Amino acid sequence: MKKSLVEHLDQIDDFRRGEGQRHELTLILLIIIMATINGYHGIRAMGDFVKRNREELIQCLKPTKNRLPSYSTIRRVLIGIDFEEFANQFYLWSKDYIDIKENEWISVDGKSIKGTMIGYNSSQQHFINLISIFTSQQKMVLSVAKVSNSKESEIPVVQQAIKMLDIEGVVFSLDALHCQKKRQKS
């Protein structure tokens, strides 16, 4: 039986201390996903999403005491969440609902996350890169992965993410970065 996105988000361990919690972690993660889908990128923008859609969110999500998280609560969750655990639950959900057809084009692309770059003046800049794997025809995200460029290369992370998908008979479209003569070990 297929699980809903909420059921998958419920599987993520809540890293927060028990005292002072006003919102369930699943509620906050669901709001983050909804805000992102609606083009609200960044913590303050997600706070604006909550303010602008307050009544609809309360009506649909039925939070305890009709309270919704503030942008600072969203920020704390985004900083503290185990990204790998979140990405894995998202993937488990998406693979149940996205039907991959033979010869479908699967696009893989990485983008640095605005505001994560440090060391502007040094030759070794550090930033977080988010890798998205999505179906080109269906326009749906299958999986995501995170690369910290100061610790790892995008190439093995993408190779591992593709291996995890465990799909055959599709065409992968990747940046020229992934056209290496020497194959890296993953």
- Which residues, at least 6 apart from 47, have a Cβ–Cβ distance to it below 8 Å? 70, 71, 74
Under DSSP, the state recorded for 18 is S
pLDDT exceeds cutoff 60 at 184: no
User: pLDDT digits over 18-61, tens only?
Assistant: 887 899 999 999 999 999 889 888 889 999 999 999 999 999 99
pLDDT exceeds cutoff 90 at 12: yes
Name the more confident of 179 and 51.
51
- Please report which confidence band the pLDDT of residue 11 belongs to, taking 50, 70 and 90 as the band edges: very high
Give the C-alpha separation, 161 to 142, whole Å.
10
Domain coordinates in residue numbering, the chain:
5-81, 98-178
Give the C-alpha separation, 62 to 3, whole Å.
20
Name the more confident of 84 and 181.
84
In sequence order, which ranges of 53-123 are alpha helices (DSSP H)?
54-61, 71-80, 83-97
Please tell me the predicted confidence (pLDDT) of residue 68: 96
User: pLDDT digits over 60-77, tens only?
Assistant: 999 999 999 999 999 999
Q: Which helix (H) or strand (E) holds 155?
A: helix 154-165
User: pLDDT digits over 105-160, tens only?
Assistant: 999 987 766 544 555 555 555 667 788 898 988 888 888 888 876 667 778 888 88
pLDDT exceeds cutoff 80 at 82: yes
Please tell me the predicted confidence (pLDDT) of residue 110: 79
Please tell me the predicted confidence (pLDDT) of residue 161: 87
What is the number of other CB atoms lying within 10 angstroms of the CB of residue 165? 16
Please tell me the predicted confidence (pLDDT) of residue 61: 95
